[in-house]
Structure formats: structure tokens, C-alpha cells
């Protein structure tokens, strides 16, 4: 049921009434049929649609009755509370209704196919563990969508605590974060944090992973990708030898200087993370890349190019990807700073548009470059420049 009392969804990412036992039966029957038709499948998805279609979570009395006391108090204050997404929160936590649904479907699947699994996600308003269910069906695999940023220490620590609570629910756990797509593609190096988190999650029951949003920012996040891939094979190995191996194999005689670049970039990233910006995709992150900071990062790259000389073209090209990443950071700072100035009333719309158009023209030159993925990054930048905050910079299709 939508907040207006109708049960009419748009035809994009529909929402279901997950408290309905008839739905539990229908979904289970459909998933069992899929498993029987595909003997090689070990797991089927029972995860709901993502948001974005304009449809809200169900507002019917039966769904709301499954929600925890915190949500009930919110409904008492506002009987017409819009249970998101969209609009302005806070929104009620609805994990209990969704994991009642997931659990009931999983139990029905297990009754028919005891050696198979059902996969759900802990996400959005149902990311936290359900308060009213102590143990979930042991054939349920839960993909925890977090941590979703490596540039906010508070959010990262919150995700750890939440995952630790999930480890008490008796289910197989998967990590399914969106963090690789965060930070607007800026040169943010968090390889050690990735490794530390990997060990933590393994120690608390993580057995599967799906790191989403690897956009291909090889000139700014390549080291993060490499260390993550290595840690997936052995979460307890030391990180420094992995970084040394990456630099040696990629940059040849410039390895030592590039190693220094990564050290400096990691220090900058740690400062950003410690400040815990509320929105990683806005100027509070990009402002860290001042002209002085970029010059400090470029210095060892110049040294690397000098050390490589003309004898190793592949190593030179790889260093150049890092140099391009720094110019990308400078241009992105210009754009996000201008958006912040516009919101604060210190810049006219015309002035902002001029800056935006210049930066987008630069982004277009990178579309076929391996250094950064400007189109995908720009979709994330719009989080920091959306209508609720005063301006939409442009559509990513313009790039």
C-alpha cells in the first residue's frame, strides 16, 4: 500500500506487501521451481527491488505492525509517515517486516529443497538486524550492504558494529558494499583499511563477498583494487608486501617514488576519513585536494618518471595514469567547490554553469582513458549536487 492508500505501483522497481503470507507462498513456489529447473544452482535470490522508481515501502497496517517499537513511536507521531525512500527523513526502521518475509520464504524453500539456499540483502531501511527474530533460517544467506564509504570513519565503525550484530543471527553472511564507487573517483588510497575490514568481517562470519561499483578508476584507485583482490585470497596476509609487489610490477624503476606517492595519498585519505564528512560525494571530500596537496602528491610522480626514463614505456604510461588522476582531482574540486558556493549564495547560477561546463569538457576528454571513469563518477557526484541541496549540476549523459 502506498502512502496515499492505493496499491498502485509505478512499473519501475515495484514494492511488495511483504507481510502477506500469500506472497510468501508464491515467492517460495517460484524460487523452488527455479531451483528444480536448474540443478546446478545452489542459491536463488529473494531480495526485493532497489529504490528509485517512485514507489514507497508498504504502509498497510499489517506491515507496520511487524515494525519495531522505534518505528511504532514514529507512526504514532505521524500516522501518514512516508516510509521512504525519497523525501526528508528520518524514516522508520523496517528490518523486522522484511526479515520476517525473507525468513518465511527461506523456510518454505528449505522444506522443498533442503540442500539449497535463499539469498537476501540487508540494505536501505532494512539493513540493521531484526529485533524480533533471534535466529533466522540456516538456509538464508544475507548480503550486508556496507560499509559503503572508506572516507568516513564514523560510518565505517557503525557498519562494523552492525555487522557484528548480524553475526549473532545464525545465518551465512556476505559482504556486498558499494564503497568502491565512493569518493567521486578522487585519488583516495584506503588499501590498509580494506584489509583491516576484510579480517574483521571474516572473523565475524563473512563467507562470501560482492564488492560492487568497481568503475575502473585505475589511475586513482588501482592500488585499492589490487590489494582487495589479493586479500580475498588470504585475508590475514600482510599488506606492505602486496603494495611493494604492485609498485615493482607496475612501475619498474619508478617503484620507490610511486610507493611514496601512495604513502602521501593514504595520509591525505586518512585525514579526510577522520573528519567523517557527512556526504563523501561533495566538496567536503574534494576540498582536501588543494593545489598544495596536489603538488605534494605530484612530486614523487615526477621523480618516478625521471627514474624510469625512456626505457620502459609501459611503466611511464602507468605513472601518467596517476598524474591524470591528480588533474582530475583538481578539476573535480573546482566543480564541487562551485556547487557549494552556489548553495551558500556566494556564486550566481551563471558563474556556476561556466565552471561546470569547463569541468565537464575536461571530463569528456577522459571517457576513453584508463585513468578514471568520469561518467560513473559523475553519477555519484550528483549526490552532492542534488535538487534538495540546491542544484543539479548536469546529467551524466552529458559526459
Q: Is the peptide bond before 90 cis (omega within 30 degrees of 0)?
A: yes
CA 348 to chain centroid: 32
pTM of the predicted model as reported, rounded to 2 decimal places: 0.91
Picking from 82-91, 98-107, 151-160, 198-207, which range would have the lowest pLDDT averaged per residue?
82-91
Exposed / middle / buried, residue 207 (Cβ in 10 Å: 0-12, 13-18, 19+):
exposed
Confidence check: pLDDT of 88 > 70: no
Exposed / middle / buried, residue 90 (Cβ in 10 Å: 0-12, 13-18, 19+):
exposed
Confidence check: pLDDT of 85 > 60: no
pLDDT digits (tens, 9 = 90+) for 17-63: 999 999 999 999 999 999 999 999 999 999 999 887 778 888 899 99
Choice between 1 and 396, residue whose per-residue pLDDT is larger = 1
Rounded mean pLDDT of 168-195? 94
The percentage of residues in the chain with a pLDDT greater than 70, rounded to a whole number, is 92
127 Cβ partners below 8 Å, 6+ apart? 95, 144, 145, 146, 162
Confidence check: pLDDT of 87 > 80: no
Tell me the C-alpha distance between 340 and 347, whole Å.
9
pLDDT value, residue 279: 64
66 Cβ partners below 8 Å, 6+ apart? 19, 96, 97, 100, 132
Confidence check: pLDDT of 396 > 60: no
255-291 as b/e: b if 16+ CB within 10 A? bebbbbbbebbbebbbebbeebbeebbbbbbbebbee
The percentage of residues in the chain with a pLDDT greater than 90, rounded to a whole number, is 71
pLDDT digits (tens, 9 = 90+) for 317-359: 999 999 999 999 999 999 999 988 888 899 999 999 999 999 9
Helical pair 191-203 and 153-166, crossing angle rounded to 10 deg: 20
Q: Grid coordinates standing for 230? A: 589479493
Amino acid at each position: 500500500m502506498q502512502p496515499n492508500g492505493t496499491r498502485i505501483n509505478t512499473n519501475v522497481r515495484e514494492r511488495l506487501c511483504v507481510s502477506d503470507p500469500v506472497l510468501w507462498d508464491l515467492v517460495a513456489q517460484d524460487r523452488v521451481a527455479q531451483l528444480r529447473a536448474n540443478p546446478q544452482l545452489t542459491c536463488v535470490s529473494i531480495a526485493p527491488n532497489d529504490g528509485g522508481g517512485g514507489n514507497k515501502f508498504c504502509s498497510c497496517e499489517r506491515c507496520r505492525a511487524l515494525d519495531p517499537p522505534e518505528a511504532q513511536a514514529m507512526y504514532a507521531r505521524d500516522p501518514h509517515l512516508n516510509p521512504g525512500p525519497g523525501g526528508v527523513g528520518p524514516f522508520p526502521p523496517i528490518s523486522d517486516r522484511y526479515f520476517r518475509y525473507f525468513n518465511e520464504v527461506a523456510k518454505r524453500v528449505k522444506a522443498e529443497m533442503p540442500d539449497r539456499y535463499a539469498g537476501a540483502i540487508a540494505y536501505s531501511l532494512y539493513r540493521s538486524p531484526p529485533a524480533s527474530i533471534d535466529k533466522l533460517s540456516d538456509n538464508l544467506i544475507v548480503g550486508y550492504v556496507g560499509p559503503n564509504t572508506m572516507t568516513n570513519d564514523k560510518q565505517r565503525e557503525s557498519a562494523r558494529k552492525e555487522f557484528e550484530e548480524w553475526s549473532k543471527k545464525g545465518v551465512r553472511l556476505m559482504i556486498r558494499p558499494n564503497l568502491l564507487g565512493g569518493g567521486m573517483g578522487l585519488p583516495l588510497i584506503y588499501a590498509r583499511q580494506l584489509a583491516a575490514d576484510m579480517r574483521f568481517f571474516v572473523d565475524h562470519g563473512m563467507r562470501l563477498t560482492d564488492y560492487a561499483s568497481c568503475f575502473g578508476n585505475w589511475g586513482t584507485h588501482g592500488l585499492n583494487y589490487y590489494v582487495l583482490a589479493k586479500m580475498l585470497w588470504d585475508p590475514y596476509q600482510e599488506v606492505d608486501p602486496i603494495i611493494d609487489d604492485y609498485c615493482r610490477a607496475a612501475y619498474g624503476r619508478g617503484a620507490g617514488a610511486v610507493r611514496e606517492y601512495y604513502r602521501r595519498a593514504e595520509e591525505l585519505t586518512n585525514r579526510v576519513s577522520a573528519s567523517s564528512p557527512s556526504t563523501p560525494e561533495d566538496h567536503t571530500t574534494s576540498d582536501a585536494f588543494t593545489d598544495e596537496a596536489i603538488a605534494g602528491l605530484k612530486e614523487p610522480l615526477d621523480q618516478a618518471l625521471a627514474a624510469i626514463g625512456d626505457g620502459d614505456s609501459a611503466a611511464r604510461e602507468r605513472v601518467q595514469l596517476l598524474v591524470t588522476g591528480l588533474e582530475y582531482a583538481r578539476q573535480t574540486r573546482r566543480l564541487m567547490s562551485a556547487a557549494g558556493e552556489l548553495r551558500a549564495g556566494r556564486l550566481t547560477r551563471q558563474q556556476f554553469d561556466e565552471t561546470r561546463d569547463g569541468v565537464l569538457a575536461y571530463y569528456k576528454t577522459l571517457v576513453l582513458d584508463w585513468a578514471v571513469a568520469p561518467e560513473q563518477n559523475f553519477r555519484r557526484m550528483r549526490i552532492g549536487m542534488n535538487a534538495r541541496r540546491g542544484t543539479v549540476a548536469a546529467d551524466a549523459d552529458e559526459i
